[in-house]
Amino acid sequence: MLKEEDIGVMNSLRQVFLYQASQVNLGSVKGFHLLRQIYGDYDFVGVSSIDCKNYRRDMLDFIGKNDAQMLVEMLMKKKDFLPNFSFEYQTSENNALTNLFWADAYTKRNCYAFGDVMSFDATFRTDNVVGCQRFAQHKNDHDSLYIIQDMHTELQIEKEASKLYTRSIFFDVQTEIYAFVISCMSVLCKPAEDFYQCSCKRFESYGLLCRHIFYVLRFSNVKNFPKKYVLKRWSKDSLPPPSVIQVTGDSPDMISREIFSSVEYCVNRYANDPELLQKFRDHQVQLMAKADADVPIPTKTNKRDRIASILGVSQPEETIVNVPKQVNT
């Protein structure tokens, strides 16, 4: 049994790690093995696998049957703190959670750019769904801004398209530029007016020009991409620079993740230069000393308070919203 005073043994970062491991269905023992892999040595891990098991049990005790209630309260709290955060939920007759909808600045920006509305059935894996989507979106945004695409032709039109469209859309446009035209379509082509229309109606249906128009452009000797046919929702210009996305509504959680990835980034950059890597390490040691000076290590922390701060929600006084029946916990 984990004693109240022992909880200090496991620092809050390890606790957060174990909590996150449980979010992706990794049990306490696997969580512990991962910690050992990451930190390399028992001394650096600072906990045993028994501590990890106890910690997970304590956390599950803490949550109890209040899962849905705590989730709702957590999102309510976010709504109060983050100006651009929206949250709605629905319950069934017996107060079981049936639907959740939430959107933060980032999601809203995607809705604005792509015209989508996101809503999810109430399951406890929704966080991961959002996370995966967000990662894919982030990656696409990042790749769109920084990765130079391979060209399939020498055509100026293809080069311009690569600069105008986001990465995933460019692949579609590139295929159309490159494609052979087998079927005949009637293309209305007025280069002087920058007007093109094809009977296949691809642009009208998908917002992207078809291979027939590109074929005609090539033979009409039109060198530049007809920019008026680049819809805002597919264009790179609709992407704000990554820093703008990160600054809006920053939560401590997001800031922590940014710090982790920036440290990881630096370690990767310096990995092949032992001298610079050592300098970076020394700088980190200085920063750690400063952190100790800024925030003195508490001698004793209440176990419940620590779990509450990791989950971002305290134990509810009463349960109004019940867990949906079909959910696996």
Query: Site residues (CB under 5 A) for Zn ion?
Result: 185, 198, 200, 210, 212
How do beta strands 195-198 and 187-190 pair?
A: antiparallel
Q: Is 234 helix (H, G, I), strand (E, B) or coil?
A: helix
Rounded to an integer, what distance in angstroms lies between the CA atom of residue 122 and that of residue 244? 30
Question: Nearer to Zn ion by C-beta: 200 or 231?
Answer: 200
Question: Nearer to Zn ion by C-beta: 113 or 198?
Answer: 198
Question: Nearer to Zn ion by C-beta: 104 or 158?
Answer: 158
Question: Nearer to Zn ion by C-beta: 206 or 260?
Answer: 206
User: Closest Cα partner for 208 from 160, 172, 179?
Assistant: 172
Q: Is 113 helix (H, G, I), strand (E, B) or coil?
A: helix
Question: Nearer to Zn ion by C-beta: 198 or 310?
Answer: 198
- The least CB distance from residue 280 to Zn ion, in Å, is 55
- The least CB distance from residue 156 to Zn ion, in Å, is 21
Question: Nearer to Zn ion by C-beta: 178 or 280?
Answer: 178
Rounded to an integer, what distance in angstroms lies between the CA atom of residue 16 and that of residue 55? 11
Encoding tokens for residue 38? 């990451």
Rounded to an integer, what distance in angstroms lies between the CA atom of residue 135 and that of residue 141? 10
Q: To which H or E segment does residue 6 belong?
A: none
- The least CB distance from residue 103 to Zn ion, in Å, is 36
- The least CB distance from residue 200 to Zn ion, in Å, is 3
Question: Nearer to Zn ion by C-beta: 55 or 165?
Answer: 165
User: Closest Cα partner for 19 from 50, 46, 59?
Assistant: 59
Question: Nearer to Zn ion by C-beta: 167 or 212?
Answer: 212
Chain centroid, CA 285 distance in Å: 30
How do beta strands 97-103 and 86-91 pair?
A: antiparallel
- The least CB distance from residue 167 to Zn ion, in Å, is 23
Rounded to an integer, what distance in angstroms lies between the CA atom of residue 211 and that of residue 286? 59
User: Closest Cα partner for 62 from 300, 301, 253, 303?
Assistant: 303
- The least CB distance from residue 210 to Zn ion, in Å, is 3
- The least CB distance from residue 93 to Zn ion, in Å, is 53
The DSSP output letter for 47 is S
- The least CB distance from residue 23 to Zn ion, in Å, is 47
For the chain, the farthest-separated pair of C-alpha atoms sits apart, in whole angstroms, at: 81
Question: Nearer to Zn ion by C-beta: 177 or 310?
Answer: 177
Rounded to an integer, what distance in angstroms lies between the CA atom of residue 216 and that of residue 190? 10
Q: Which residues contact 219 (CB under 8 A, 6 or more apart)?
A: none
- The least CB distance from residue 166 to Zn ion, in Å, is 22
**Backbone angles phi and psi of 97, in degrees to 5:** -65, 125
